[in-house]
Structure formats: C-alpha cells, structure tokens
Chain A
Amino acid sequence: MAAPAARKAPVPAGLSADALLEIYYYLRLTRSLEERLVNLYRQSKVIGGLYCSLGQEGQSVASAYALQPGDILSPLIRNVGSMLVMGATPVDLLRQYMARGTGPSRGRDTNVHFADLEKGYLGNISHLGDMVPVTAGMALSFKLRGQRRVGLVHVGDGASSTGAFHEGMNFAAVHRVPLVVIIEHNGYAYSTPTSRQTAVERLAEKAKAYGVPAETVDGNDVFPVYESTQRAVERARRGEGVTLIEVVTYRRKGHAEHDDQRYQPKEEREHWARLDPIDRYQRRLVAEGWTEEAGLQAVDHRVTAELDAAVATAESEPLPHGDSALAAVLADPPEAESPAAGSVGGDGAG
C-alpha cells in the first residue's frame, strides 16, 4: 500500500520514479544473470572459471548509472552490473562465458573482457591495475580535445597494491585528467584479506599520496554510491581532475565458483548477507512509497523472460572454428607472414 504522496521522503539525488525502477532492473538483471551462469557452470556449459559479484551488484550498477552518454567505463571482473548499465547485453556475457564464436571477443577471451567504445565500456585484462593508466589515457584524450567526457575505472582492494595502479593514479592526478577511480573494497583479493594487502586503515587514504580528493561510501547502499560517483563525475567534467572513491562492500562468493571460501568466517558472510544491496534497495523503495511492489514484480518477470531468451540464444550458437584463431592479430597481416607462420612453421611435427 502506497503512502500518500505528500508524506513521501524526497528521493536522493532527485532520481525519478522511472530511474529508480531502471536501477532495480539492472540490479535484478545482474543477479539473475549470474544465477543463470552458475547453473550453466554446474552443467559444464561455462568454459573455464566463473566470477560472481553476489552482494556487490549495488555499487556496480549505481556507479555506472551516474555516467552520461559519451563517458567511458572500464570494469573489473565483478562489474557485470556496470557493463549492463553501459549497454552490454546478457547474451553478450553468456556468449563470452560460454566461449561462443558469436561473442563480442569471438571466443578469444572470456567474461567482461570485451569492449564497445560506442556504448562506452572497455573491458579489463587480468593484470590488475593496468586499466588505470589506460583509462587515464582515454581521459587524457578527452582533455586534449576539449571534450566534456569522463572516464571511470574500477579496481579492487588487491589492485590498489599494484605498480600500475600507482603509476596510473599519479599520472592522471598530475595531468588533471577527467577520471574517477573506484576502489571496490570487498574484503578479499582471492583469499588475501585487506589487512594483508595494505597497512592503511581506509583505502581512500591512498588518495593523499596523489593529491586528489577521496570519499569512502557504503557500497551496499545504492544511493550514496550513486551520489558520490555523480559528484566525482561532475567534478571531472568541470575540469577539476581525479577523484578516488572507496566503496566498502563484501564478496559473498569465492574468488571464482571453484573457490571453497574456507578463509571467510561464516558469521562474516551471514552479516553481509543481511546487508544485501538489492534487498535493501527494494525494501526502501517500497517503504518510502517511491514505488509499488507490483512494479518491482513486473521488472522481475521482464528479467526472467529476457534471460530465458538470452540463454536459449547463447546455447544454440556454435563455438568458433579453430582456424579463426589466426586472423586479425594485426590490422593488415602481411603476405610474407602467412607461409612461414601458417603452413611451414605452424605445421611442424610436434
């Protein structure tokens, strides 16, 4: 039952009713897509590892939602939610994980490792921290061309220990490029707790070393993440440079599906399960009277139908042909390469 309109609390950041529902759609889509992927993994239909973001979907969706068309986001492996907000489709992600030749990387890479700069995302590579300099370079191009566009890059607590993170942060800060860096602090890098990753109390403290402002926000609450990212994005758009945001959240699954999580106390996982970002968001929307239960249920039905179709499509599609692996290493494979690499050397007896 909806409360009378006059008594409703104002929606944070002035999000419209449609926007609130759209955010809910992406949250639900992310979680349900990953649930489908887990099922497919158990049926051995996902090739290789599966990396889920259970409990981290809120920050992933909310941060990307603060961007505008033309902005570029580089995700981390657990930012399926960000990818979906930026316009990647569930079928793309299914094709990636199922190694289909029809997928955006044509079976050459997996998970969120793909790009569409028109839509505004550039998938990461496995070498953590590397996307900080690369996204800084994209942001540098915006600055050099006088474009009012912004780059946003996600890293984890583990990646903040890498040299690439440091070099990228420092480079971006010195050149005041329009960049937002989000450290997704989820407690663990594989099995290593943050206390063994860094001696700082809060990862946001690292910003001081680069002379950039920082915020720490509750990553399991959609609203502060959205508001914090929006502030940082607008700051970057005004030409005021880099902001570091630490979002505090928790990785409720293992590093990947095969991980038995023996290093995470059960009580810790249960504590964070009670802080689930989707449950909190959903409860608040209804409690504040910003939306009705029926509206959320309609979204759930839509997500189910979309994922049924996406899974059926991906499952029906073929794996790539082996020999397609040779094409397009370079833009213009020179003729001289083909006989040596392909027929003579490549066919050498093993």
Chain B
Amino acid sequence: MERDERVFILGEDIGIYGGAFKVTEGFLDRFGSSRVIDTPISEAAIVGAAAGAAHMGLRPVAEMQFIDFISCAYDMLTNYVATARYRTGLATPMVVRGPSGGYVRGGPFHSQMPEAAFFHTPGLKIVCPATARDAKGLIKAAIRDDDPVIYLEHKYLYRRIKENLPDGDDLLTPIGKARVAREGTDLSLLTYSATVWKALEAAEELAAKDGASVEVLDLRTLVPLDDAAIMESVKKTNKVLIVHEDTRTGGVAGEIAARINEQAFEWLDGPILRVTAHDVPLPYSPPLEDFVLPQTADMVTAARRLLAY
C-alpha cells in the first residue's frame, strides 16, 4: 500500500478493530479511512464493489472475515468477476483474501477450505501460502496481478510459524510456481497450505522409521497449477500421494490425479492416493474434528501403502 496508492482494502471490522485476526491492525492509522474501508456485512457488495473499483484502475484487497463467508459472494465472483475479462476485455485486478481452514475447533462455519468451488471456475487465480515468506511474497504478487486472485491464508498458521523477512521488492513469490519443501526420491507428497507442515512431519517420520525418502511439493498456487513441477517430481519418485484439508469428492486432488494420469502415466509405479478430509461438514468437537481432518498419521499410513508397490 505504501508502494502503490491504487491499493486499498475493504472488509468487515478491518479498520479500528484491525480485523477479526488483527491482520490489518494499524492500517487505519497508517493509511486513513479512504484506503481502509469498513463495510456492512455484505460479502456480495464487498466483492462487487471491489470489482467496480478494479475496473476503474484501483487495486482493491477485499477481506472475508472468515473465508467461509466467501460463499455469500459466490455469484459475484463466479458470474461477474471471473467472466469480466473473457466477455468484455475488462481487467479486474483485485484480491479476495481471508482466514481459511480448520484444526482450530471453529466448527462448520469457521473452518472451511473453499478452493474447490473456485478451482472449478475459469477466470480466477487461487493461491494458498504455507510459509511466512510465501504469505508475504504471494500477497504482493496477487495485488500486482492483473487478474482476480483468491488468496487463502490459513488461520492455523497465523501465530505458529515465524520467519524473519527482508523488506522491499526482492520478496515476491511468483504465482503459478510450486516449491519443493523437502527433496526426496521414493514418493512425492503433493499438498498446499497448512497440510504442508503435516506432510513435512510425515516425511520426517517416514525417513526415521522406514528409511524412506519422501519429497514434499508445496503447490503454493492452485490456479494456474504448476504442472511442470508436479510432473518433474512424479518422474523422479514414480509414486504420488496427494493431500488436502478440503473434503475428498470433487476436491483439487482429483484434478491433479487426472493431470498426472494424462501427462505422466508411464512413470507411475503405483496408484495415485489421496489423503483428505472425510466428506462431511467439518464438526466442532475436538475428537470429531481430529477424525475428519487429515492428520500426519493418515499420511504416514497412506505413504507406507504406496511405498510397498
């Protein structure tokens, strides 16, 4: 926002309160009420107004207080924002961001991962950082992008991961590029967002107990998906486990598996396996949530099955 005066933010309780998770704390004092705009509880209006302002050359960043509420703006995002360039040639450079995901005892409406619905919508980009570096690098890249970007920040990671980061322009994470989070040769574990950390734990355990070398690929961007990085890893390890926190049916893993099938079938030495949430609304009580969401132990079990091929 200091670099580019076209950037402004809007959302619920983002001003004096600094947002439900204090992501925008201090912004109001620093940038003033014309660039830090508190809105009514109106996700469709927030997204729609951001689109209109983006058409006029501004670069709005819209906050969903919890990303679960992005469904209230589903029509605006999928029918208006996603199609504007295709139909009319108008650019809509805007970001919709919000606290995403579970493992926090948030219950059905404060824990969702909403990517699948938008993954299925041509015209929107989706990024999901897992590290502090990428959180910064991808928000900057998203704001500078000429297309609408959905930026999913995982609330489980907010105060759990820390990194010292340099200021300035050198820290940009390109949209559309995956990252090898851990090198390996026996199995590729593909994932994104908070489950990157659980995947790294699983890889560590498999190395220690099984002597297996697991590669963890942090996808970072879901649209456009980094097919090249995925296929490179598949061709190296020949075994693929895809992990995501979102529910299973119609999830991103299915599409990744199909692409591997189309582009690297001959390189596979076993079935492509998935570890995901079960197909239920995410429940509240800790034993229920823990059971439904993918855990490190689930990844270890699935990896062992695959390593046996």
Contact = CB atoms under 8 A, between A and B. Distances in A.
B51 A163 contact: no
Contacts of B57: 141
B76 A171 contact: no
Contact of B86 (A130, A175, A329): A329
A133 B76 contact: yes
Contacts of A339: 227, 263
A188 interface: no
Contacts of A139: 52
Interface string A121-142: 0110111001011111111111
Given A134-B80, A140-B49, A345-B258, A336 B87 contact: no
A81 interface: no
A328 interface: yes
A125 B78 CA distance: 11
Given A105-B87, A115-B88, A137-B52, A167 B45 contact: yes
Nearest to A143: B34
B89 A125 contact: no
B49 A328 contact: no
Contact of A334 (B54, B79, B176, B259): B176
Nearest to A335: B228
Given A171-B40, A340-B259, A105 B55 contact: no
Interface in A81-114: 104-105, 108-109, 113-114
Nearest to B81: A134
A307 interface: no
A62 to B, nearest CB: 24
- Highest count of chain A CB atoms <10 Å: which of B46, B80, B83: B80
Given A137-B49, A170-B40, A331-B146, A108 B87 contact: yes
A9 interface: no
Interface in A147-177: 151, 163-164, 167-168, 170-171, 174-175
B122 A117 contact: no
Contacts of A167: 40, 42, 44-45, 48
A136 B42 CA distance: 13
A144 interface: yes
Contact of A329 (B39, B60, B123): B123
A168 to B, nearest CB: 5
Contacts of A115: 88-90
B273 interface: no
For chain A, give the interface size range. 35 or more
A231 B21 CA distance: 44
A134 B40 contact: no
Contact of A168 (B37, B45, B227, B258): B45
A134 B262 contact: no
B37 to A, nearest CB: 7
A134 B49 contact: yes
B91 interface: yes
A344 interface: yes
A313 B89 CA distance: 23
B226 interface: yes
Nearest to A104: B88
Contacts of A345: 258-259, 262
Interface in B46-92: 46-58, 60, 75-76, 79-80, 83, 85-91
Contacts of A331: 85, 91, 145-147
B125 interface: yes
B277 interface: no
B8 interface: yes
Nearest to B230: A336
Interface of A: 104-105, 108-109, 113-115, 117, 122-123, 125-127, 130, 132-142, 144, 151, 163-164, 167-168, 170-171, 174-175, 328-334, 336-337, 339-340, 344-345, 348
5 contacts: A117-B56, A133-B76, A134-B49, A141-B58, A348-B262
